[in-house]
Structure 1
């Protein structure tokens, strides 16, 4: 369970895309969040699909928000979603729960469900949902993961591991309690599910001329940074002490032996921003009551170097395996 290796994608997926059409401005590429397709002289269609595989609860809510995140980091406002829902048995209560969450999340973001598919598959052990999201923006406005430049500052919103914290608090509640987490802390962390959207901050930053925006999902903050470095062909130098981590996330990861920088981090946004626009960007986010921090900078080279709290440097030169995904394998 988890993302396929970069080398496998480059060998078996990226070269096999059928007829390459001229209106496709950004197609399948490593680290890029969504396709960008020209629809007229002024506008582009932004399209993305994403499954939810590392959670058992709140599947509908997560599916809508995470797919729409990848539209928003392109600088486009999400408009339409299409869920594919696969159920392990023909149970109305499961479908009711999932579609209730899809409906709530879609209304919160102002998007509409315009199609999709539902199916019963007896070999499944639990429900699986994959979501396609779409939006429209102007050609002069769209943003890619590959737009980073040496000298850019790395801006991060909110805290690391938001999605993982919410999943741990719901799906691993009993395990966390047995290992010493208080029930009040677990219940508080369950509210992190409401923080997984980055649509608001992405649309704010899109108006300010950022070079890159990226939604760090599997592999967490470090995985997201590595994907940006590869897509932009730059080296990212990051200071661990500058990366904000919520207390709930620290405690859960410590109890379960997880690295908070290597777990699902939807809810945080990573952006590469020209140095002269950092102050304005952070001020606009503050006005929207969204916390942010500068965690490093881009320079010539390729890959990512993390300066740890003890001063040691860790070079990240390959995709990060998500440690929450690995935890699912162990139970």
Structure 2
């Protein structure tokens, strides 16, 4: 699945949203991770997302991907609804494997599956899982809150999800191109690191904006913060955290890890006076983080810096490298 461009969203999707409801605080907008609806004295965060894949790991991802989008609102994901569209020929053992992974992910998040739908669907050859996550809180964080002077923080490492997808779905090609199998096997395990729920909830009270970079990777996630907040982000390319396995795999395929699936890396903008506290909180959780740049005034874009020199200016819409390769292989 590939995201529509921001232009198409604005012209076609966002102009057909039904009646206006004053309890909808944040509805469909570019870059915003989840809807926010006023309920009584609190707020409900709601988000839905589909993913397509093989049986292996899809149940785990189906829960964690949407949980991230609730957590970056500073709200704990609590309830989930799951729709499973299954190809003909799938057996009960495969369905059970998906649901065991779903249950394991829910148990780790202390969440509950409260409904959904499951069917055998004609015309598909892989599982499609569409999940809705819901949470309730007293406060919320947006993607649009970044202010000039804030610092840009990234947790863990970028392209963890993308690296795991490449290692799983393109293993033979990677071996053919000289990537050692031990590197590929380690990279497959990165799928276990896609959750940002713990760190997002831990620093929500310190962040001016938080975002979960998915398709288009870190660059698209940063662009969405810049556009939503009407600011420019100045990023030091040498400070972006990338694991050696990611560098090796992406290099072998001539792809850019900055423009590839990055679930697992939380992006947050933090006022300078709060950055030390945020670092202490993350360190106590055992989660590494990097300060990769700052928010500055200017037209929404990404200013990429290396050795104190501007080497690139990024704007527009980033096509995801991993998703592009995946669709060329599987024809979706």
Partners of 1:204 and 1:264 lie apart in 2 by 23
Partners of 1:61 and 1:190 lie apart in 2 by 14
1:194 Cα deviation from its structure 2 partner: 1.2
- 3-state SS in 1 of match to 2:198: helix
Partners of 1:109 and 1:322 lie apart in 2 by 28
C-alpha offsets along residues 253-298 of structure 1, whole Å, 9 cap, x if unaligned?
Answer: 0011110101100000000110111111011101111000110001
Moved beyond 6 Å, runs of 4+: none
Tell me if the contact between 2:74 and 2:141 (Cα under 8 Å) persists in the aligned partners.
yes
1:56 Cα deviation from its structure 2 partner: 6.2
How many pairs were matched up? 327
Name the structure 2 match of 1:253: 250
Partners of 2:287 and 2:10 lie apart in 1 by 36
1:329 Cα deviation from its structure 2 partner: 2.7
Is the aligned partner of 1:68 residue 2:67? Answer: yes
Is the aligned partner of 1:31 residue 2:31? Answer: yes
Structure 2 counterparts to residues 148-297 of structure 1, below 5 A: 148-207=146-205, 209-297=206-294
Name the structure 2 match of 1:110: 110
Partners of 1:190 and 1:309 lie apart in 2 by 33
C-alpha offsets along residues 188-223 of structure 1, whole Å, 9 cap, x if unaligned?
Answer: 11211111000000011113x210010000000001
| Structure 1 residue runs without a partner (length 5+) | none
Partners of 1:87 and 1:73 lie apart in 2 by 30
Partners of 2:283 and 2:173 lie apart in 1 by 36
- 3-state SS in 1 of match to 2:248: helix
Tell me if the contact between 2:52 and 2:127 (Cα under 8 Å) persists in the aligned partners.
no
1:158 Cα deviation from its structure 2 partner: 0.5
In the superposition, the TM-score normalised over structure 1's length comes to 0.96
In the superposition, the TM-score normalised over structure 2's length comes to 0.95
| Structure 2 residue runs without a partner (length 5+) | none
1:311 Cα deviation from its structure 2 partner: 4.1
Tell me if the contact between 1:54 and 1:325 (Cα under 8 Å) persists in the aligned partners.
no
C-alpha offsets along residues 58-90 of structure 1, whole Å, 9 cap, x if unaligned?
Answer: 111111001000000000001011111111115
Name the structure 2 match of 1:14: 14
The CA RMSD over aligned residues, in Å, is 1.4
